[in-house]
Amino acid sequence: SSSTGTLNVSSPSTYELPPPYYSVEVQTVPPLPSYEEAFYGAGPRHTPPNQLHYIPQHPPPVAAQHICQPSISLPVNKKKHKCCHRSAKCFGGSAGIVLLLLLAIAIWLGVRYGTRSATAAATLDHHDSEDEGHHEDEKQLSVPVHDTCSNSTVQCDALLDCQLGTDESSCVRFGADGALQVRTSQDGRFLPVCYQGWDQSYANRTCAQLGFRKSFATKAVKSQQSIALTLNNRSSLPIQGQVNVSSSCPDQNTVSLQCVDCGRQQLSSRIVGGSVAKLGQWPWQLSLHFGGSHVCGGILVSPDFVVTAAHCFPGPLPPVLDASKWRVYGGVVTQDKLPSPYLVEKIIVNENYNNVTNDQDIAILKLASPVDFTNAVQPACLPAFDQTFPHGTKCWTSGFGTTDEGAAKPSKDLMEVAVDIIDVRVCNSSKVYSGSVSNNMLCAGDLNGGRDSCQGDSGGPLVCQASNNLWQLVGVTSWGSGCGQSNRPGVYTKVSSLLPWIYSKMQLESP
């Protein structure tokens, strides 16, 4: 395998050679540099922003800027994304046609270089302060309108006090083995639900409340917790309005609920170090296309929802936020043979996403119609709220990103690579990312280099196999410095930290 990551696998001779890699030391100007800069800003995190590679978040604790490069054909995914949206200069003074052309170029570049660029850090620091105002303006473009709530709003009382219902959208979560936990206004804590009286109807209604169409499986599990929730009279209220706080459950049996059949591979033989994936190995892997080209990866988590990275939708480019311009492909292991696409109904970018630090780099796509699961198309499981995988756990990441740092085109084949979870304390050390990894991020790769994701992999999955053998979506490919470099592992959005946001948006957009 080559030295870069996910795509870091020796490429077939048929692949087109990518253009030169723009690195920090060599301040080469990439094609259409002004577009790239205008759309995505200088560069990665803490290094001189001369490069246009993917966005690397460099070590400096300073806010890093991403580097994204657009291209006419649409970005190649950016793995480590972090497209720095520069802003004002973006479209200033251009005519409609030129705008569209630039937009396509910008997206392409963003995907291509956005995420993994390790070099442009230093300059970034300068641009960070200089363009702070622009970043804020750009952010507003992709942020949904905030909810309006009454002064007497009570969280999780089963009564909608807010226009969009956000006061009732974070009242359910899942623990290990699908243990259902509900928060009510009576207690304020998340408590298990007693199994007595529970049935398929409750299961289906609870899953539907969370944005799933129905439940997949439910059972009783033992709980040692002294306080729990008992079911009261059945009603049309959400689950938090159908339970009462109790001192215990009969026989300590509480509810385990699984809303979707997930995390199952149809094929499991893999080669560590980077290789071409086979159909059915990573059935939740999706390819997001804009302008007819692969731009980012995505992860199917239910028949209706896709999880991906927020940086795939740069705020300064309004057309990128137009759901009708995107196509989503599932069950794909080669870009040369694409099935009928899924259409997108809505793009939901995390309103707290910070395009300077890459914090909370997550977005959700609501599909226009539900996906039919097949051997090649299956959802990944969302993790338990407290799911952790210790340092050294072997997990897998996949994508259509480039197989070499700085490559101009993404891989035609779906690539896979095994990566190790790296303790955040190690990742935030001065030798690695110097404090740039937030509580909403995690690191995975190989500190010796060689196994990593790369540009174009952005928005794709980092999955780990749980004790029940099901594959959990642990991370979303976000950023990094270079591809496969020593002490520069991939940085992923930590899904468990953003579960409340994911479930709340799925609930508010439930089909």
Catalytic residue numbers? 311, 361, 458
Concatenated DSSP letters of 20-63: PP--SSS-PPPSSHHHHHHHH-S-SSSS-TT--SS----SSSSP
Q: Which amino acid is at 457?
A: D
CA 12 to each of CA 4, 275, 338, 382, 411: distance values in angstroms, whole numbers, following the listed order:
15, 12, 20, 35, 10
Nearest to 417 by CA among 264, 269, 275: 275
Q: Which amino acid is at 51?
A: Q
Tokens of 176: 């290990």
Q: Could you give the CA distance from residue 116 to residue 340 in angstroms, rounded to a whole number?
A: 30
Q: Which amino acid is at 102?
A: L
Given a contact cutoff of 8 angstroms between Cβ atoms, the answer to whether 464 and 472 are in contact is yes
Q: Could you give the CA distance from residue 362 to residue 479 in angstroms, rounded to a whole number?
A: 12
CA 361 to each of CA 188, 451, 488, 502: distance values in angstroms, whole numbers, following the listed order:
28, 22, 19, 12
Q: Could you give the CA distance from residue 443 to residue 422 in angstroms, rounded to a whole number?
A: 5
Please provide residue 498's backbone torsions phi and psi, each rounded to the nearest 5 degrees.
-110, 15
Nearest to 333 by CA among 279, 377, 399: 279
